[in-house]
Amino acid sequence: MRIPLLQHKPAISDWRIVHQGASWCLSYPDERLLGLLPLIRSALDEQPRSGPVALLGNVVEALLRADPDELCHAYVDVFDLSRNHTLYLTYWTDGDTRRRGESLGAVKQLYRDSGFVTDLRGELPDHLPIVLEFTARADQERGLQLLTRYRGALEQIERALRDRGSLYSDALTAVIATLPDTPSDLNPIAQHRTPFESVGLEPYDPRLLPLQPTQAPNRR
């Protein structure tokens, strides 16, 4: 997908640009994704200056300056080797329990209800880059509802990344800043990392939903 570049800056920022850009920035930084960074930067430059636009612009510039091999290693270290920064939203509210299967099913049903079909690219439906791209490209209203529902999870991830000093923390801050203010929905499981029960997740076939989004890397 190409983000359209405008001749004149709009009066109000289009959060779809921020959500699509954050989706790409939070995806595995392979050669193809790194090649999209100048497009993200150009699209952000066409937006009015705002907090989310500036924050995501910081992430894009940091990714452009970084060594590609180091970026790949850092991404795996931050997001794949530690639960402390996982981008799977239902983990933060349900842990690895049977209840999480119901939450994943609800996310998939929301995608179906939108009338679009998406390729999950081998990911679970709650993977944040997938949710952000759905919001940007398929159904902004339902996508914002989903992001708002998991605002507490986003805040947890943002804090963990900021404590680590990760360049990705600004991407989370930018996304959160586009959402309406609501009370955090985190429950004790997310806050205390209690149950780890890997039962009940088997039925989730990654090949669902509408839309044929930008193909992100499948590193599994």
Per-residue pLDDT tens for 189-208?
444 443 445 444 444 333 33
- If you search the block for the tokens 């690895």, which residue do you land on? 96
| CA–CA distances in Å: residue 137 to residues 10, 51, 150 | 19, 22, 19
Per DSSP (E only), the strands in the chain are none
Q: pLDDT-based confidence at 17, cuts 50/70/90? A: very high
215 within a domain of the structure (yes/no): no
Is 212 among the domain residues?
no
What pLDDT, in 10s, does the model give residues 161-179? Answer: 999 999 999 999 999 999 9
Q: By the 8 A CB rule, do 38 and 50 touch?
A: no
Instruction: Give whole-number Cα distances, 195 to 88, 98, 132, 152, in Å.
Output: 16, 10, 27, 18
User: 10 pLDDT band (50/70/90 cuts)?
Assistant: low
Q: What is the pTM of this model?
A: 0.80
Question: Is position 91 within any domain?
Answer: yes
Domain count, the chain: 1
Q: How wide is the angle at C-alpha 92 spanned by C-alphas 23 and 213, nearest 5°?
A: 25
Counted residue by residue, the chain has a size of 220
Domain-located, residue 46: yes
16 Cβ neighbours under 8 A, 6+ residues apart: 135, 136, 137, 140
C-alpha triplet 37, 41, 45: angle, nearest 5°: 170
Q: What is the pLDDT of residues 106-151, one digit of tens each?
A: 999 999 998 887 678 889 999 999 999 999 999 999 999 999 999 9
Per-residue pLDDT, 128: 98
In this structure, is residue 208 part of a structural domain?
A: no
Give the range of the structural domain holding residue 105, as residue numbers without chain letter: 15-192
201 domain residue, yes or no: no
Mapping DSSP to helix (H, G, I), strand (E, B) and coil, where does residue 96 land?
strand
Residue 142 and residue 19 in contact, taking contact as beta carbons nearer than 8 Å: no
Q: Across the strands, what pairs with 127?
A: 88
SS3 of residue 184 by DSSP: coil
Does residue 10 form part of some domain?
Answer: no
- ∠ CA 179-143-79, rounded to 5°: 80
- 21-75 residue pLDDT tens: 999 999 999 999 999 999 999 999 999 989 999 999 999 999 999 999 999 999 9
pLDDT at 210: 35
Rounded CA separation 152/165 (Å):
20
